Amino acid sequence: MSNVFYRSSKSYPVAVRAGGVFIETQDGRSFLDGSSGALVANIGHGRVSVAQAMAEQASRLAFVHGSQFTSDVLEEYASRLATFLDLPGYRFWAVSGGSEANESAIKLARQYHVERGEPGRFKVITRVPSYHGASLGALAASGMGARREVYAPLIREDAWPKMPKPDPTLSGEEDAERLRAVLEAAGPESVAAFICEPVVGASDAALAPNTGYHARVAAICREYGVLFVADEVMSGMGRCGAPLAVRLGGEVTPDIVVLGKGLAAGYAPLAGLMASPEVYGTVMDGSGAFKHGFTYAGHPVSVAAGLSVLDIVEQEGLVQAARERGAQLLAGLEVLKARHPHILAVRGQGLLLGVVLGDPATGQAFERPGLADRVAAAAREEGLLTYPGSGAVDGVRGDHLLLGPPLSITPAEVDVLLERLDRALASLGVPS
């Protein structure tokens, strides 16, 4: 009998080692990691230089508490990150995961307004659907019906006014203007921030708004004295073919950028946020402290992993690679869409791609979701890992697969991914 508390009652293969884009299990199978373990493993698996950097850091300085020390590695990383992301003067707040990072962003936004003498600004406008994390605050912020219902009541339901998801039939500017109505209805003097995923991840199959959306959102937020928070946990660090997805359509500077996953690419738990000079300065010039923290915030071994990952991303040109391999994969998915009518749409940016599945007869999601889980299971049989979302489109129902292999995937491996997905779809008896 196992002593492990599994996430579900299904049986889990035992992973034993991984290299490049492949993961091997104890029973001798090999899987192409088509979704980078939930869009995390940006540089691929088995990078010895990252392991060595972590070992060196652990033997030199494994841990110091963040309320008493900073570390040389954290200082260097924060500066390298601000340069890589082109966020001059921004301050890096390091935590261990995306949920912690979004909790930090929500609390920082609220405290920013308290320091400015506007304590009534506690609401955070979020979108439906969206996913910002599993902790109760981040989940309350998230617009994902299926996950929220079980854990109700969440934190002050009136604190999270909801904005509809991006509508690609509108211009980016028109689409963003809908934020104004949500702000007015919520009472602008009660709103601390607006948060969105620039390219939506697990909750809506890589949906992205049209060009101009984020710039207009940023302008509306400024007009109402509301902070603009970009949750780039999944979309950032090069995955979408730019250091930050929020800037894919032009110059935009959010007040807070939330990061995770690709920061240490799975080698260590590392996430965090970048806070603008205005946000950081207001808190430090006011009460002088962010009244929030986690024991493992800024852990030197995690940060050493992040620094080593950033070296690889820069040296190997992986941001550019995400653009190129992403275009190749999207073109291949278009071909599969023509062959498999249950694929209703393929979309995304760089190597954050979504395959929307549904009923070819209606062109809509099935009333009873489940197809994504079946396709993912068939893909596993073919040796391909995907990230299925059954019941996730619109946050309530529908099926999709997220695809996002490591940014280091080769062109030949992209072809292997497509062949395996093609065979998996064919094995379900879907006409081709």
231 versus 399: smaller Cβ distance to ligand PMP:
231
The answer to the question of residue 122 lying near ligand PMP (CB under 6 A) is no
Give the integer Cα–Cα distance in Å for 356 and 320.
26
User: CB-hemisphere CA count at 13 Å for 49?
Assistant: 11
Contact with ligand PMP (CB under 6 A): which of 24, 25, 38, 168?
A: 38
Taking CB under 6 A as the criterion, which residues in 335-374 touch ligand PMP? none
CA pair distance 31, 381, nearest whole angstrom: 9
- The piece of 63-71, 92-100, 161-169, 331-339 that touches ligand PMP (CB under 6 A) is 92-100
Q: Is 109 in the site for ligand PMP (CB under 6 A)?
A: no
Q: Does 262 bind ligand PMP (CB under 6 A)?
A: no
- Sole binder of ligand PMP in the list 260, 262, 266, 405 (CB under 6 A): 260
Give the Cβ contact number of residue 343 at 10 Å. Answer: 23
| Alpha-carbon torsion angle 51, 134, 108, 289, nearest 10 | -60
> Given the rule CB under 6 A, which of 194-202, 303-311, 385-393, 408-416 is the region that contacts ligand PMP?
194-202
Residue 231 Cβ vs ligand PMP, minimum distance, rounded to whole Å: 5
The residue among 21 and 106 lying less far from ligand PMP, judged by its C-beta, is 106
Chain centroid offset of residue 208 CA: 13
Collect all residues with Cβ–Cβ distance below 8 Å to 59 and sequence separation of at least 6: none
Measured in degrees and rounded to the nearest 5, phi and psi for residue 318 equal: -75, -15
DSSP per-residue string spanning 168-198: TTS-HHHHHHHHHHHHHHH-GGGEEEEEE-S
Which residue's C-beta sits nearest to ligand PMP?
98
The site that binds ligand PMP (CB under 6 A) totals a number of residues, namely 17
Question: Closest CB to ligand PMP among 376 and 418?
Answer: 376
Residue 37 is a binding residue for ligand PMP (CB under 6 A): no
Q: Smallest distance from the beta carbon of 424 to ligand PMP, in angstroms?
A: 23
Question: Is 198 a binder of ligand PMP (CB under 6 A)?
Answer: no
Taking CB under 6 A as the binding criterion, the range among 81-89, 91-99, 151-159, 285-293 that sits at the site for ligand PMP is 91-99
C-beta of 179 vs 264, nearer to ligand PMP: 264
Element (H, E) at 257: strand 256-259
Judged by CB under 6 A, does residue 133 bind ligand PMP?
yes
- Within 8 A by CB and 6+ apart from 86, the residues are 243, 244
Name the pairing type of β-strands 22-25 and 30-33: antiparallel
Q: Whole-number minimum distance, CB 253 to ligand PMP, in Å?
A: 19
Q: How many Cα atoms occupy the beta-carbon half-sphere of 26 within 13 Å?
A: 4
Helix intervals (H) in 134-254:
136-141, 145-149, 172-186, 213-223
User: Is 97 a binder of ligand PMP (CB under 6 A)?
Assistant: yes
Applying CB under 6 A, the residues found at the interface with ligand PMP are 38, 97-99, 102, 131-134, 197, 201-202, 231, 233-234, 260, 271
